[in-house]
Copies of this chain bind each other. A is one copy, B any other.
Amino acid sequence: MKILTLNFTVLFILQLFSLNIYGQSSVTIHDDKTVTFQIHALYANSVYVEGLGGVMGGNHYMNLSPEGIWEVTTPPLEAGFHYYQLVIDSVAVNFPGQPTYFGWGQETSGLEIPDDNLDFYLPNKVPHGDVSAKWYHSKVTNTIRNALVYTPPGYHSDLNLRFPVLYLQHGAGESEMAWVYQGKVNFILDNLISSGLAIPMIVVMDNGYAAKPGAENPKRPSHRDNDFDKLMLNELIPIIDRNFRTLKNKRYRAIAGLSMGGGQAIQIGFKNLDMFGSIGVLSAYPWRFDMKAIYKDYDLNEELELLWLGYGKDDRSHKNGLRFHEELKKERIDHIWYECDGGHVWQVWRKHFYDLATHLFK
């Protein structure tokens, strides 16, 4: 019995100092798109994985082996990017040793399930653009902020060229990082530009939360406390136009976004038709905005080079998109209506962006 106790103590010490810290947990994606999660957690009572499908997904309860390894293999997962977390004894945490992405209002584990038939968002062997972090002090928020800026291949070699600019926004709970790290927007554009399907362009991605000084929840302000429209118009666009070789007129300036960011593209884009010549709306939910006032005051077919709407057919926002689409048809306002399979997920937005980018600035 003495020996058993000792072994147990040794195991315990080894576990604390090595097993989880140095990678004794694993996530394995199998060829059939099922995924096995394993984690050494000898002293836990309940462990499961949550997420992995749609906005919050489902729960995948893990079983404990006699060796103290909790394990579950999921059904085949949809191709694309999935947020998830591990819940240990009712505490939701990120899966140890796995990459995280800013979503769900915080750093959150993310899993990429490959699609055997699609490579348009992969880092293929084509020339790559850069993604720059541009820091600036904002008077609107009274904080330092950080926008990510994609510049296309060739931006640094021919210094006489100027480029159109797309302002591209993430969804609720995400950040300025999302379109690059979850969306792979830079690789999508690298591939499109390389094959001649998209015009070389600059893409600016800032954080859609811009809290007024003194706001109750500065990281995720309420709609009333969010001055993102003011920030974009008064600060971000001038900073980008000063620091990058942009084409500085509405013909070559677009705004687009997904979900919450799609709402912002509508709000900011339609209210500032002197600034934006193209608007892209991806999976946006309903919005409080008097489109009728816009129809009356402006000839949208005259004002806009491109109005692009994209929705996943399995997304609850799809019916809102359809309603918008029908309204635009009725008013004879030119637009592109793009549907694809899938829900409120990044794989859909990657496909959306691909199509949107082929139409922009042409």
Please give the residue numbers on chain A whose beta carbons come within 8 Å of chain B beta carbons, in ascending order: 12, 15-16, 20-23, 39-46, 85-94, 96-100, 104-107, 123, 125, 128, 130-137, 144, 149, 156-157, 159, 186, 243-244
Contact = CB atoms under 8 A, between A and B. Distances in A.
Contacts of A23: 105-106
9 contacts: A21-B85, A41-B89, A43-B90, A44-B90, A88-B93, A91-B96, A94-B107, A97-B105, A97-B106
A135 B130 CA distance: 7
A156 B93 CA distance: 41
Given A43-B46, A98-B106, A131-B132, 20 more contacts: A16-B87, A16-B90, A20-B91, A42-B90, A43-B89, A44-B89, A44-B91, A45-B89, A88-B88, A91-B96, A93-B93, A93-B94, A94-B107, A96-B106, A97-B106, A98-B107, A130-B132, A130-B135, A130-B149, A157-B243
Contacts of A45: 43, 45, 89
A138 to B, nearest CB: 11
Given A105-B22, A107-B99, A131-B133, A88 B86 contact: no
Contacts of A156: 243-244
A88 B92 CA distance: 11
Number of copies: 2
Contacts of A131: 132-133
Contacts of A92: 16, 20-21, 96
Contacts of A42: 90
Contact of A93 (B96, B133, B134): B96
Contacts of A86: 93
B104 A21 contact: yes
Q: In the A-B complex, list the 7 residue pairs whose CB atoms are closest, starting with the nearest.
A: A93-B93, A128-B135, A132-B132, A43-B89, A20-B92, A123-B144, A44-B89
Contacts of A93: 20, 86, 88, 93-94, 96
Contacts of A41: 89-91
Given A42-B90, A43-B90, A156-B243, A135 B123 contact: yes
A174 to B, nearest CB: 15
A137 B125 contact: yes
Nearest to A187: B135
Contacts of A157: 243
B136 A128 contact: yes
Contact of A89 (B22, B89, B130, B159): B89
Contacts of A107: 94, 97-100, 107
